[in-house]
Chain A
């Protein structure tokens, strides 16, 4: 038995380069239930992060009583993340929404589905009549299932005809998609998790994999502890578990990623660690790349980034001398300014080294949320379905034919509206109905006082579809109670393109309905029709929705036509594209160096990374990329909000291993809640000393936009920086007026010009001490990046008996 709160990554099963990663099956059942008392095991995958770990739900007497990893699955070989081991308990919470609610005289009261949906339909029809479809907006998530996003996409684009649909995936994965599109022509992850098994060098760019995708980190740890381990390069301003294991750790100042990347490329080109044959055959723009990065010698970069020049050279050498290079990228890059440009430079490293599509040579532009990939694929994330190009009339025509509607019905005069712009239109009063599904913007969007004010506007009708009465739902005019994972069937896809089936294990509580049923209910009541007057949406359950989606994906990079529920049942998940040509799926994209940049096939005609300006079809055609990838490069510019006398610290936000999103589920799992019960703020020992702040003292952190108060953790964070976890809101505390504690009270309303991803990791703040702790330390976890800088009176984070998990290694089975 392993205490998986105390040891989140569990026991090691070391393996060497090119060997199979050993199976280790993790299992947790609630106290008092033994394995032979479980009635049945129901197949699913993780819904609390983006790794896509396959697991089975244990059901007893119609209740979920535990989980077990699926040893047969390619992604996790049986391992389970601590959030998944314990997070399912939230399904059984008494606080679940069980009946629809509507606002009456300022209060939310229970009503029937008929009444609640009637109000949504009535308001929708009234707005359509008075103002047209541009008055309706949808803000969805990265946590529903593929079938649900596709239904929502069809409703928005072919039913209502509004371009205003995006997901909170804009906050977590938009830059991954944009960087892939700009470099390779379409979205689609080039690499595979199996590249960990082969790599001789692994680079983690702004990716604290140990806390974001724990099972992927277990795989890396097992390589690091096996024979011929890979070298590890980590770019992160905090002493994350990977940073502590790194051969080279580059703790750059936040807001300087692109300078670092330009510097690494400078060294790679200057030392001629370049595969010239590959570059000539498969890329465009090497000269421009070279002339851009020429301006970034290591000494200059060292000064900008606040790291030693020698370390930059050492990291570049490891990359340059590697033969099997794996790079992963996440929020440290995606939520900073110049996000897309910095992420494209990671792609560029692989292109100039000719290391794509071969075992160990992978790029993983990661996702934040479990089903963000599907939001992107299905057109619920500011894209057209199946990576079609909104600017390509033929692509739009394909959708019009598929849905049997006029092409004019589908908005395609500009890209679908991105999330931050949707909220701006709502603020200005031109969007009057905002339907929020499975996300909690009142805690997760930047500059929260502004978001609360928009949600509270008289002229905005807010529909919230969720499983709990979240901080956002408190503002709703209508609340629709949803079923969640384990209570509904559908599919979803992880960050390395692996598609999993998630089957219904138990009934949802009360009158809660699956998100698919809710969307289909709306579509029926709205009576959406195709151009022949038939029902627009001709499917009625998850499997028929999946079949419809398969047709939509046919011939596109994310081709699902070779998959079916039956094929996904029983064995391992399968990586798309899966079709007649690749019946067992596809491990790595672009093995032949032929990229998706053909003008008629690509998802974008390209854009300027400095401003986001779109190029035209004519311009794209004139470049004649013909399957070659684009080596895009731009100069580094400092962040718009720099530190100054009044706000001398660099502010960054992030996650902890024990929580997901805004804790709607993880706060209701006792082991997870106990491990990280309340908000904290991280300061370096030097800064804490200057401010007179001791461990656990209450500090106030202020930006030009707001303030928060939390206990200080004196950690190994880079001097001059302040970190706050973004999970903590107000549903289980006193609310922002009493003691503001949400990290996004402080964040700035600004986004990357190309990906439109908000800047959660670049801002300027000041810190003051409010009162002494009286010796009580902050309740931040000690197992991870938030560990105290020095041994002292801080008790270790442990789970105890309640967190003991059975880990069975294959040879012992």
Chain B
């Protein structure tokens, strides 16, 4: 049984994403909407991680290294300026996708295991992860022309 591996992956990935959101919030605090939305979404990720708690107890938790590697590969420090914002949000976008596909895998396992409780948690959280991805994409699309064409 390897569900513990995915639960561990997801748990860590959500916590890292939360940290990423907070770093971007602080690094781009002058973008008022980015600041506030990132902080809101960081809280959301932390709640996701918390909600995994009972299942980690039920199924165990392995600690694969990939989420750490991904986080450090993408994100040690935030960048500055319009282009920097775009690149930092792109990192969040990749990290959010790692969460998204993990929710899908955990959801599949939950169905196989007939674990209704886990499935309900997956259903509640994966929709929020999808909205996070949607927000990142919306905000990046809006910012891209200005950042790539005219920003100094």
Contact = CB atoms under 8 A, between A and B. Distances in A.
Interface of A: 131-132, 134-135, 163, 413-415, 417, 420-421, 424-425, 427-430, 607-608, 610-615, 637, 640, 749-751, 753, 756
Interface string B75-98: 000000110000000000000000
A613 B37 CA distance: 11
23 contacts: A134-B146, A135-B150, A413-B141, A413-B145, A414-B141, A417-B142, A424-B30, A425-B146, A428-B151, A430-B82, A430-B146, A608-B135, A610-B131, A612-B33, A612-B37, A613-B131, A613-B134, A614-B134, A637-B40, A640-B36, A640-B39, A750-B36, A751-B32
A753 B135 CA distance: 10
Given A414-B142, A430-B150, 9 more contacts: A132-B149, A134-B145, A420-B33, A428-B152, A429-B152, A430-B82, A614-B134, A750-B32, A756-B33
Contacts of A421: 142
Contacts of A429: 151-152
A640 B32 CA distance: 11
B44 to A, nearest CB: 9
Contact of B41 (A132, A428, A611, A614): A611
A132 B150 contact: yes
Contacts, number: 75
B31 to A, nearest CB: 7
A-B pairs, top 10 by smallest CB distance, nearest first, are A613-B134, A613-B135, A611-B135, A414-B142, A614-B138, A134-B150, A430-B151, A430-B150, A749-B32, A613-B138
B80 to A, nearest CB: 11
A429 B152 CA distance: 7
Contacts of B138: 607, 611-614
Most buried by B among A608, A640, A756: A608
Interface in B94-135: 131-132, 134-135
Contacts of B149: 131-132, 134
Given A131-B150, A134-B150, A749-B32, A608 B134 contact: yes
A615 B131 CA distance: 9
A615 B134 contact: yes
Contacts of B137: 613
B142 A415 contact: yes
Contacts of B33: 420, 612, 750-751, 753, 756
Contact of B131 (A414, A608, A637): A608
B92 to A, nearest CB: 13
A612 B146 contact: no
A59 B131 CA distance: 59
A147 B33 CA distance: 33
Contacts of A415: 142
Nearest to B44: A610
Contacts of B150: 131-132, 134-135, 430
A308 B137 CA distance: 42
A718 to B, nearest CB: 25
B145 A611 contact: no
Nearest to B43: A637
B40 A610 contact: yes
User: Could you tell me the dominant secondary structure of chain A's interface residues?
Assistant: loop
A443 B25 CA distance: 28
Contacts of A610: 40, 131
Nearest to A619: B134
Interface string B21-61: 00000000011110011011100000000000000000000
Nearest to B140: A414
A431 to B, nearest CB: 8
Contacts of B41: 611
A640 B35 CA distance: 11
A640 B33 CA distance: 11
Contacts of B141: 413-414
Nearest to B137: A613
Nearest to A164: B146
Nearest to A425: B146
A795 B138 CA distance: 55
Contact of B32 (A134, A417, A420, A611): A420
Nearest to A756: B33
A427 B152 CA distance: 12
Contacts of A428: 81-82, 151-152
A414 B146 CA distance: 11
B138 to A, nearest CB: 5
Contacts of A420: 32-33
A753 B141 CA distance: 16
Contacts of B82: 428, 430
A750 B142 CA distance: 18
A57 to B, nearest CB: 43
A188 B63 CA distance: 54
B11 to A, nearest CB: 23
A131 B145 CA distance: 12
A751 B35 CA distance: 11
Contacts of A608: 131, 134-135
Contacts of A750: 32-33, 36
A753 B146 contact: no
Most buried by A among B134, B141, B149: B134
Nearest to A616: B134
A756 B132 CA distance: 18
B31 A611 contact: no
Most buried by B among A413, A415, A611, A756: A611
A163 B146 CA distance: 10
Given A428-B82, A751-B33, A753-B33, A611 B40 contact: yes
Contacts of B146: 134, 425, 430
A134 B145 CA distance: 8
Nearest to A450: B30
Contacts of A163: 145
B152 A611 contact: no
A37 B81 CA distance: 65
Contacts of B145: 134, 163, 413-414
A414 B81 CA distance: 20
A606 to B, nearest CB: 11
Contacts of A613: 131, 134-135, 137-138
A761 to B, nearest CB: 16
A429 B30 CA distance: 14
A612 B139 CA distance: 9
A214 to B, nearest CB: 34
A131 B39 CA distance: 34
Contacts of A427: 30
Contacts of A134: 145-146, 149-150
A750 B25 CA distance: 13
A135 B149 CA distance: 10
A131 B151 CA distance: 9
A766 B3 CA distance: 53
Contacts of B132: 611
Contacts of B37: 611-612, 753
Contacts of A753: 33, 36-37
A750 B151 CA distance: 22
Most buried by A among B30, B32, B36, B145: B32
A543 to B, nearest CB: 37
Nearest to B142: A414
Most buried by B among A163, A424, A637, A756: A424
B99 to A, nearest CB: 16
Most buried by B among A132, A612, A637: A612
Contacts of A607: 138
Contacts of B142: 414-415, 417, 421
A424 B31 contact: yes
B91 to A, nearest CB: 18
A428 B40 CA distance: 25
B24 to A, nearest CB: 14
A222 to B, nearest CB: 44
Contacts of B32: 420, 424, 749-751
Contacts of B134: 608, 611, 613-615
